[in-house]
Amino acid sequence: MVPSKAGATDAGGANPSAPPLWRLLQAAAGVVAAVVDGESATAAIARVEGPLRPGTQALAFHALRQLGRAQALRHLLARRAPPAPADALLCTALALCWRDSEAPYEVFTLVDQAVEAAKRGAATRAQSNFINACLRRFLRERDALVAATEQDPVAHWNHPRWWIARLKLDHPQQWQEILQANNTQPPMTLRVNSRRTALAPYLARLEQAGIGATAIGEYGVVLNRPTPVHEIPGFDAGDVSVQDAAAQLAAPLLIRSLGAPRVSGEHPLRILDACAAPGGKTAHLLELADAEVTALDIDPVRCQRIDDTLRRLGLHARVVAADAGQPSQWWDGEPFDGILLDAPCTASGIVRRHPDVRWLRRESDIAQLAALQGRLLDALWPLLKPGGCLLYCTCSVFRAEGEAQAQTFVANNTGAVLRAAPGHLVPQTRAKHNGVQDNLEGDHDGFYYALLGKGAGDGAPALRA
């Protein structure tokens, strides 16, 4: 993590073993440049040297949450953008220091170290004087420059113009609160493994360890401060997992819709978790009921993450690397009692955890992903037993990927019944609740849930090659 203002100094740093700030700024600017060029921040951060990675991620995520403002300020300081590496470094510095109350370091330190980063970088050395001049002018005229960008919605909300317009249309009462929540840093939330412990005793255990936390939902614990997982009591033993509170609703919704007891050794349910990686929902299903779970994902590498997750928790599922949309390649012909489809989506509900998403997505992605979601629903529905339930969910707040998708499916499938489910959850912080009826009390991401019941007369077809 990047040290706070109180602990931050110049290149020497308060901590002699910590990387100098100019190196972190170089690396963070590299991540920002990669995102602007269309690459995910996750991939760019993975290439950063290990000792630099935590600080780089913290600075890069901060910069990406404020990139719209930073680019607007850079336009005022220099209407013609400098070469991409210099532009990324300048915008990173502006994003970090435009609002003094949220700057991770003293603003003068950030400016000094950004100039140092420019001088020491082969790709930015020729623009170091330009970067220095822009940042010094910014320090002199900061209030006026910030005020001049305030009328630009991309600068004000730090989201693309089309994204803002879509939220206004989809959530006319909450769009501003959604955007505000997206620009905050999310908390670290745990899910208690109900096979091993319960919420109240685990909260007491955290208190004894000096870790502040509050409960959310039936199984969730929101930590007051992020903590390395191996320092969390019982994490290595499988007592808890990291999972946002909104995502924790999936397994209980499906299990209860099937009338299953919490844990039963008789007649285990047969459940498909489609698009299952990295395995959090698979594990939660197995924590709540004795079930035969098939965990499916198209990516073999991500399937390994499912195996790793289950191994830590002492759980077992049949993990299959295959395309959920091509059942003939992997289905054994035996219908499932329940299906969980956490479909690929824009990830517009988890932007605060992945701030690069807003800059990587294009408006056309919504229709393309909605078409994929529809194909997956159509492919998996025949695999469900009559009387069973399919839980469709996405980590999106766009209605085309949520409510509209579910309504279209029900209209086109006479045997499908939309049962009671939360619908759209919008992201909210601890500081402010959105007042949305189905939202949890507390901090969580944006999500959508539709529980689709299958009529008794709507049978499953035979498997076709």
Catalytic residue numbers read 395
- Tokens 């959530």, located at residue: 171
Number of H helices and E strands in the chain, helices first, is 17, 11
Cβ–Cβ < 8 Å for 257, 452: no
Measured CA angle at 357 (ends 310, 407), to 5 deg: 80
What CA–CA distance (Å, rounded) separates 465 from 462? 10
Q: Could you please report the per-residue DSSP string of 361-418? A: --THHHHHHHHHHHHHHHHHGGGEEEEEEEEEEES---GGGTHHHHHHHHHH-TTEEE
The H or E element spanning position 118 is helix 107-120
Both structure tokens of 256:
């209860």
Name which of 118, 117, 103 is nearest 62 in CA terms.
103
**Which residues have a Cβ under 8 Å from the Cβ of 159 and sit 6 or more positions away?**
68, 179, 182, 358
Q: By three-state DSSP, how is residue 267 classified?
A: coil
Q: In a 3-state reduction of DSSP, which class is residue 121?
A: coil
Contact of 450 with 393, CB cutoff 8 Å: yes
- DSSP, residue by residue, 40-101: -HHHHHHTS-GGGHHHHHHHHHHHHHTHHHHHHHHHHH-SS---HHHHHHHHHHHHHHSSGG
Q: Give me the phi and psi of 242, to 5 degrees please.
A: -90, 120
What does each C-alpha distance from 52 to 55, 97, 364 come to in angstroms?
Answer: 6, 20, 35
CA 98 to chain centre: 25
CA torsion angle 448 440 432 95 (round to 10): -40
Which alpha helices (H) appear in 123-233, and where do they start and end?
128-149, 153-157, 161-170, 175-182, 199-208
**For the chain, what percentages of helix, strand and coil (3-state, to nearest 5) are there?**
45, 15, 40
Amino acid at 154: V
Which residues contact residue 141 at a Cβ distance below 8 angstroms, ignoring those fewer than 6 apart? none
Q: Which two tokens stand for residue 148?
A: 């001049």
